[in-house]
């Protein structure tokens, strides 16, 4: 059996998260790391990771090995556990893979909103500039305003950005919920530098391999792991990933990673064991799923746009507007910020604006392959009359999350659904 322990060039064994790179002398591909980045946590010969349901773990039998909490320094997570609110085996494996895929140490949470809340508590800004995007994040900021007077500013308003001060947060969601349109991270990094702010990025709609916010200087990347990391509509998860140069402190001062972990212990928003296990299962196929979903989406968006442009057909008659990053002007410019920021595709979510609120409300019930449900990122395609879960959107809008089905089948389902809708409303 091949050894799972890598070696340094001098022949010394290498263990821990760097052992694969040491063994191969290079960083492995995203696909390989999705399957093997957590191998160093193995403590059992089973190929499929076991699920640990315990919330508490035995201390060492040797009294000489007992360390009081006041002197405690967390040992390697794969070898020692105390209590699952601090860390647990399944969440550790999940974080190990995400740390490798996302380019910085990852901290997992019970949900995307738990992660966003933890991030705002940790950075403790007086002001946060945020655009539209997920309404739940705006809800967290409303709560923080109630507790400590935190001011919410409009991200795309230059006069509002000018109010930011050192230590405040510029929070960019890209691509944006629910439209799937992208925002320029390099521009907001420049603004953050000018104003002395932190740049945080919600990259839920563009997981690896679609986008790397750290290459644009993000301080923290956030994901709702419920979506593409989970990928099967069966788990809740949130993730914060810290820029590597901020992760670990110096001169006796804690780094951001240690700080987030300590605060998570007290906030209590940790993942359960089942969710950690499901997350590991799902990450194995992350690249396969995301690329298939992205390709399917581009085919469908291109078809819809072509139909609307041609005119004289059911799409042109009923669809008022199509929104997706691929339809932004920069997508057609070879050297644009958008092409550089998302070189592997523009993501699996887009929005359709129908002719009227009544059209948007009724279309989902006419489809067979699209489930009418909220959320996104699963292997199945979803469509949502977005007004069902978001009070801020135009009621003509439906959000579409594309799965791994055959895109031609999805196209034909949309076509027959629009035809059935038109027939129903004309009768």
Residues 6+ apart with CB under 8 A from 250: none
- The pair of structure tokens assigned to 317 is 């008659």
The answer to whether residues 220 and 200 touch, using CB atoms and an 8 Å cutoff, is yes
CB atoms within 10 A of CB 395: 16
Instruction: Report the topology of domain 27-283.
Output: 3.40.640
d(CA 140, CA 146): 10
Burial class (CB in 10 A: 0-12, 13-18, 19+), 94: buried
**Burial annotation 129-146 (CB, 10 A radius, 16+ → b, else e):** bbbbbbebbeebbeebee
CATH code given to domain 286-426: 3.90.1150.10
d(CA 199, CA 219): 5
- The pair of structure tokens assigned to 296 is 């399917």
The answer to whether residues 128 and 153 touch, using CB atoms and an 8 Å cutoff, is yes
How confident is the prediction along the chain (427 residues), in pLDDT tens digits per residue? 333 444 444 444 567 888 888 999 999 999 999 999 999 998 889 999 999 999 999 998 999 988 888 887 765 555 688 999 999 999 999 999 999 999 999 999 999 999 999 999 999 999 999 999 999 999 999 999 999 999 999 999 999 999 999 999 999 999 999 999 999 999 999 999 999 999 999 999 999 999 999 999 999 999 999 999 999 999 999 999 999 999 998 877 889 999 999 999 999 999 999 999 999 999 999 999 999 999 999 999 999 999 999 999 999 999 999 999 999 999 999 999 999 999 999 999 999 999 999 999 999 999 999 999 999 999 999 999 999 999 999 999 999 999 999 999 999 999 999 999 999 998 7
Provide the pLDDT for residue 4: 40
Cis peptide bond prior to 358, omega within 30° of 0: no
Provide the pLDDT for residue 60: 87
d(CA 152, CA 158): 14
d(CA 206, CA 227): 10
- The pair of structure tokens assigned to 415 is 């076509």
Write out the residue limits of the CATH 3.40.640.10 domain(s) in the chain.
27-283
Provide the pLDDT for residue 75: 57
Provide the pLDDT for residue 43: 85
The answer to whether residues 20 and 28 touch, using CB atoms and an 8 Å cutoff, is yes
List % helix, strand, coil for the chain (3-state, nearest 5). 45, 15, 45
Q: Which long-range contacts (CB under 8 A, 24 or more apart) does 415-421 make?
A: 415/314, 415/315, 416/366, 417/363, 417/366, 417/367, 417/370, 418/314, 418/315, 418/318, 418/319, 418/363, 418/366, 419/314, 420/366, 421/318, 421/359, 421/362, 421/363, 421/366
- The pair of structure tokens assigned to 303 is 């078809």
Provide the pLDDT for residue 78: 55
Write out the residue limits of the CATH 3.90.1150.10 domain(s) in the chain.
286-426
Q: Which of 117, 103, 119 is nearest to 198 (CA)?
A: 119
Angular region, 124: left φ>0, alpha ψ -120 to 50, beta rest: left
Terminal CA-to-CA distance of the chain, rounded, Å? Answer: 69
Provide the pLDDT for residue 44: 87
Q: Which of 263, 266, 260 is nearest to 246 (CA)?
A: 260
Strands 397-401 and 382-385: antiparallel
Q: How many CA atoms lie within 13 A of 71 on its CB side?
A: 4
């Amino acid at each position: 059996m091949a050894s799972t322990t890598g070696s340094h060039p001098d022949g010394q064994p290498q263990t821990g998260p760097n052992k694969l790179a040491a063994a191969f002398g290079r960083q492995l591909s995203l696909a390989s790391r999705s399957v093997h980045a957590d191998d160093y946590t193995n403590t059992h010969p089973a190929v499929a990771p076991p699920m640990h349901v315990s919330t508490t773990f035995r201390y060492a039998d040797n009294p000489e090995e007992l360390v009081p909490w006041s002197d405690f320094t967390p040992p390697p997570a794969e070898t020692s556990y105390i209590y699952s609110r601090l860390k647990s085996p399944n969440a550790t494996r999940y974080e190990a893979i995400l740390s490798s895929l996302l380019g910085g140490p990852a901290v997992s949470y019970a949900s995307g909103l738990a992660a966003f809340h933890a991030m705002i508590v940790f950075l403790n800004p007086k002001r946060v500039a945020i655009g539209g995007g997920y309404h739940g994040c705006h809800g967290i900021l409303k709560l923080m305003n109630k507790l400590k007077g935190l001011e919410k500013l409009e991200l795309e308003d230059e006069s509002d950005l000018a109010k930011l001060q050192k230590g405040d947060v510029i929070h960019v969601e890209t691509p944006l919920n629910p439209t799937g349109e992208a925002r320029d991270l390099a521009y907001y990094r420049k603004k953050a530098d000018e104003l002395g702010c932190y740049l945080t990025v919600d990259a839920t709609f563009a997981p690896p391999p679609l986008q790397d916010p750290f290459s644009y200087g993000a301080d923290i990347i956030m994901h709702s792991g419920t979506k593409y990391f989970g990928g099967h509509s069966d788990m809740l998860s949130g993730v914060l990933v810290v820029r590597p140069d901020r992760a670990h402190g110096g001169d006796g001062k804690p780094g951001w990673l240690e700080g987030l972990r300590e605060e998570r212990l007290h906030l209590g928003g940790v993942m359960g064991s089942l969710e950690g296990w499901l997350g590991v299962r799902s990450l194995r196929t992350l690249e396969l799923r995301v690329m298939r979903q992205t390709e399917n989406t581009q085919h469908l968006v291109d078809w819809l746009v072509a139909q609307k442009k041609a005119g004289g057909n059911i799409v042109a008659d009923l669809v008022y507007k199509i929104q997706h990053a691929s339809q932004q002007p920069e997508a057609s410019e070879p050297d644009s910020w958008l092409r550089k920021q998302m070189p592997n595709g523009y993501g699996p979510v887009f929005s359709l604006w129908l002719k009227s609120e009544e059209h948007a409300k009724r279309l989902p019930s006419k489809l067979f392959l699209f489930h009418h449900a909220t959320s996104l990122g699963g292997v199945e395609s979803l469509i949502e009359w977005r007004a069902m879960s978001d009070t801020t959107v135009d009621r003509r809008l439906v959000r579409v999350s594309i799965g791994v089905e055959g895109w031609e089948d999805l196209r034909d389902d949309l076509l027959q659904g629009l035809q059935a809708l038109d027939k129903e409303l004309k009768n």
